[in-house]
Amino acid sequence: MPMEVLAPTPHNVARAAERLRAGGLVGMPTETVYGLAAAARNEAAVASVFDLKGRPHDHPLIVHLASAAQLLDWGVPLDERAGVLADALWPGPLTLVVPRAKGVPDSVTGGQPTIALRVPSHPVALDLLKAFGGGVAAPSANRFGRLSPTSADHVAAEFGSEDLLVLDGGVCTIGLESTIVDLTGPATRLLRPGAVSREELEAVLGRCVELPPTARPGMPRVPGSHASHYAPGAPTELVTSDDLNKMKGAGLTVLARQEAPPSWGGAWQRLPDDAAAYAAGLYAALRRLDATHPAAIIIERVPERPEWLAVRDRLERASAPRPMAAQPRRSA
Ligand code: TXA
Ligand code: MG
Signed CA dihedral, 140, 54, 64, 117: sign only: negative
**Residue located nearest, by CA, to atom 18 of ligand 1:** 220
Pocket test residue of 28, 36, 61 for ligand 1, highest count of atoms within 8 A of CB: 61
Q: Are 38 and 32 in contact (CB under 8 A)?
A: no
Per-residue pLDDT of 233-283, as tens digits, reads: 899 999 999 999 888 777 899 999 999 988 888 899 999 999 999 999 999
Structure confidence at residue 228 (pLDDT): 57
Structure confidence at residue 217 (pLDDT): 46
Structure confidence at residue 250 (pLDDT): 75
**Could you identify the atom of ligand 1 that is nearest to the CA of residue 184?**
30
Establish whether the linkage from the previous residue to 91 is cis, with ω within 30° of 0. Answer: yes
Structure confidence at residue 239 (pLDDT): 96
Pocket test residue of 114, 180, 313 for ligand 1, highest count of atoms within 8 A of CB: 180
Structure confidence at residue 212 (pLDDT): 64
Structure confidence at residue 159 (pLDDT): 95
pTM, full prediction: 0.93
Structure confidence at residue 220 (pLDDT): 46
User: Low-confidence residues of the chain, pLDDT below 70?
Assistant: 212-229, 322-332
Structure confidence at residue 331 (pLDDT): 36
Ligand nearest to the CA of 61: 1
Ligand 1 close to Cβ of residue 139 (< 6 A): yes
